[in-house]
Amino acid sequence: MIAPVAAFDRMGEENAFAVLARATALASAGRDIINLGIGQPDFKTPQHVVEAAVKALRDGHHGYTYANGIVEVREAVCRRTRDMTGQEVSPDRVMITPGGKPAMYAAIMMLGEPGAEILYPDPGFPIYRSMIDFTGAKAIPVPLREDNDFAFSAEETLSLITDRTKLLILNSPSNPTGGVTPRAEIEKLVHGLAAWPDLAILSDEIYDVMTYDGEKHVSLLEFPDIRDRLIVLNGWSKTWAMTGWRLGWSIWPDGLYDGVRKLAVNSWSCVNAPAQWAGVAAIDGPQDQVHEMLAAFDRRRKLVAELANGLDNVTCRTPKGAFYAFPNIKATGWRSKPLAKALLEDAGVALIGGPDFGGYGEGYMRVSCASSDDSIRAAFERIGTFLADNR
């Protein structure tokens, strides 16, 4: 049988898509499934953003655009970056990609090779690890520990850097834990990075607006000393509920920008034009729905933590960011993946087992808070009954 080259055997997956497929198949077969597995807002894209895409099509924006994106959307990104972080960024350093994912793909492809080491958060977004393995670089997990509120520890992160480390991947607020790394810790980390001037940093800030309890997102852009080796990944998927549009942005240092632009030319050419115009409207238009969504996620993350803590042998920190909770199920006697499978097949609740986000995720489950309050309540009722019946 024909087969791809060996490197493809090293490439991983995002199990959330497999869980979504299975949950959808069960639902189509007539089962009543509550999906707390998928990492996407349960909101629709704001209407004025949809209208902007329709208008772009009507106005004839049907052709290729610049590989790095239309000037208007890159300038909009710069305005938002200024508003959010106080930092000036040139539109010539902004890259528009089909979703945020291609930026991590590009960064890891540009810096990973056999002999190199790349540090990535564990538990963390699974594509980091998958792409590192694909390049043949050595993947070194940076543990995000529950007793540290799932934040990065500057000391532990710095202790893992060697002269072979080419890239450090950071993500705060975090998928899958909802952890937010505090400013003091980021400052300490950046201070320590001065000793490693050849190390690039990829800061995945796709959940930047999603912080709660007065917790404030800190962008790595705020630290001029690392600007010349910093990649910041962001996008429209989460903030404006646009996962299916495939629209993301990233900000690149001089040395790497041409590489990602070339990768675009060699693969996706450019993001579809109407989506880019929608991206301008999302950034520049009214933010009412974003605020409404954040209020819902804020309420639901507390609800999820309360309901999870109400289960026998389960504990759950109230997440400080993103829209995920990461309850600890170690005392139930279950391992995470068998529990996720049993909950889906037997109780009709889709969750993701912690190990799908790395080895340090064993003993945890990722719960998405992007579902209605009622379905969250119903899901936890089912989970409670299931755990009581299957000790």
Phi then psi for residue 311, to 5 deg, are -85, 145
Tokens of 140: 């070194």
By CB under 6 A, tell whether 178 contacts ligand PLP.
no
Considering only 85, 237, 276, 332, the residue that binds ligand PLP (CB under 6 A) is 237
Binding mask 112-141 for ligand PLP (x = CB under 6 A): -------------x----------------
Min dist. Cβ of residue 14 to ligand PLP (A): 8
Contact 126/12 with Cβ under 8 angstroms?
yes
- Among residues 150, 187, 169, 33, which one has the least CA distance to residue 106? 169
In angstroms, give the least distance from the CB of 231 to ligand PLP.
13
Name beta bridge partners: 381.
none
Give the number of other CB atoms < 10 A from CB of residue 313: 13
CB of 358 to ligand PLP, least distance (A): 13
Q: In the Cβ-directed half-sphere of 329, how many Cα atoms lie within 13 Å? A: 27
Among 39, 274, 354, 355, binds ligand PLP (CB under 6 A): 39
From 74, 80, 101, 166, residue interacting with ligand PLP (rule: CB under 6 A): 101
Site for ligand PLP in 254-313 (CB under 6 A): none
Please say which residue, 246 or 317, places its beta carbon nearer to ligand PLP. Answer: 246
Phi, psi of 124 (to 5 degrees): -160, 175
Measure Cα distances from 142 to 124, 168, 179 in Å. Answer: 9, 9, 14
Q: At 17, list the tokens.
A: 């898509």
Q: Residue from 15, 24, 148, 243 that binds ligand PLP (CB under 6 A)? A: 243
Stretch that binds ligand PLP, among 25-33, 94-102, 183-191, 370-378 (CB under 6 A): 94-102
Tokens 């400052």 belong to which residue? 187
Q: Of the candidates 117, 122, 146, 204, which one interacts with ligand PLP according to CB under 6 A?
A: 204
Q: How far is the CB of 169 from ligand PLP (least distance, A)?
A: 10
Which of 99, 319 has the CB closer to ligand PLP? 99
171 binds ligand PLP (CB under 6 A): yes
Radius of gyration over every alpha carbon of the chain, rounded to an integer in angstroms: 21
Which residue of 68, 81, 130, 175 would you call a contact of ligand PLP, by CB under 6 A?
A: 175
Q: Burial level of 335, CB count in 10 A (0-12/13-18/19+)?
A: middle
Q: Does 235 bind ligand PLP (CB under 6 A)?
A: yes
Contacts of 309 (CB under 8 A, 6+ apart): 315, 316
Instruction: Please report, for residues 130, 196, 286, 340, the alpha-carbon distance to residue 366 in angstroms, rounded to integers and kept in the order given.
Output: 19, 34, 31, 9
Segment lying near ligand PLP (by CB under 6 A), choices 99-107, 283-291, 363-371, 375-383: 99-107
Which of 161, 206, 280, 281 binds ligand PLP (CB under 6 A)? It is 206
**In the complex with ligand PLP, which residue's Cβ is closer, 144 or 387?**
144
Q: Half-sphere exposure (CA, 13 Å, Cβ side) for 40?
A: 17
Residues interacting with ligand PLP, by CB under 6 A?
39, 99-101, 125, 171, 175, 204, 206, 235, 237, 243, 248
